[in-house]
Amino acid sequence: FEVLRPLLAGDDQSADRSPDRLFISKNAAPPVGRLFQPVSKMVLSYAELLLLSLLLKKRRRRVRKYRKHPMLVPRLSKGLYYTLFDDLCSDGWKFFNYFRMSKSSFEELLSYIGDDITGRDTLLNKCIPAKEKLALTLR
């Protein structure tokens, strides 16, 4: 923040700095190395904007009431996949009418792409099973 302060105040008093170029170091001569290369005011102004936007974004975070809304919790027992899929599997014609493929084609497709679409369970969330992902995608 100390580097940006002279720019914000418009303080260009040092004689060894030209008005359009600034050095990050306060020494008269710039130190050797890549870190302390001359930096234009425009680049520093971008850095200022980035810093300010990050500070404002940090302040704007809202506190959530729920991690998962209570209305969505019974999805594992009352969701469309869990209530309908078993019934569709028991009737081949309904399964074909719903997914536009036979049960054997569905299982074959699942065997091809199952490993690629399988997620990982975390401590807080269970992943959606590959069979459910495929069923919801085909619908």
What pLDDT tens digit does each residue of the chain (139 aa) get?
Answer: 555 555 555 544 544 444 444 445 455 555 455 555 555 555 557 777 788 788 777 666 677 788 888 888 888 888 888 889 989 999 999 999 999 999 999 999 999 999 999 988 888 888 889 999 999 999 8
Residue 50 and residue 12 share a domain: yes
> Does 126 lie in the same domain as 91?
yes
0.75 cut: is pTM over it? no
Is the same domain home to 134 and 86?
Answer: yes
Strands (E), 2-125: 21-22, 39-40
Place of tokens 């008269």: 28
Residue 52 is assigned to a structural domain of this protein: yes
From CA 59, how far away is CA 121, in angstroms rounded? 31
| Full domain range(s) for residue 98 | 75-138
Residue that finishes a domain, picked among 13, 31, 60? 60
The number of distinct structural domains making up the chain is: 2
- Report how far residue 5's alpha carbon sits from residue 23's, in angstroms, rounded to the nearest whole number: 13
Q: Are the beta carbons of 108 and 101 closer than 8 angstroms?
A: no
SS3 label, residue 12: coil
Q: Give the model's pLDDT for residue 43.
A: 59
| Cβ-defined contacts of 90-98 (< 8 Å, 24+) | 98/139
Helix (H, G, I), strand (E, B) or coil at 39: strand
124 domain-assigned:
yes
Position 99 scores a pLDDT of: 94
- Residues 10, 52 within the same domain: yes
Does residue 81 share a domain with residue 132?
yes
**Do 79 and 134 fall into the same domain?**
yes
CA 134 to chain centre: 23
- pLDDT at position 103: 94
Residue 93, φ and ψ in degrees, nearest 5: -65, -45
pLDDT of res. 39: 54
Longest dimension (CA), the chain: 87
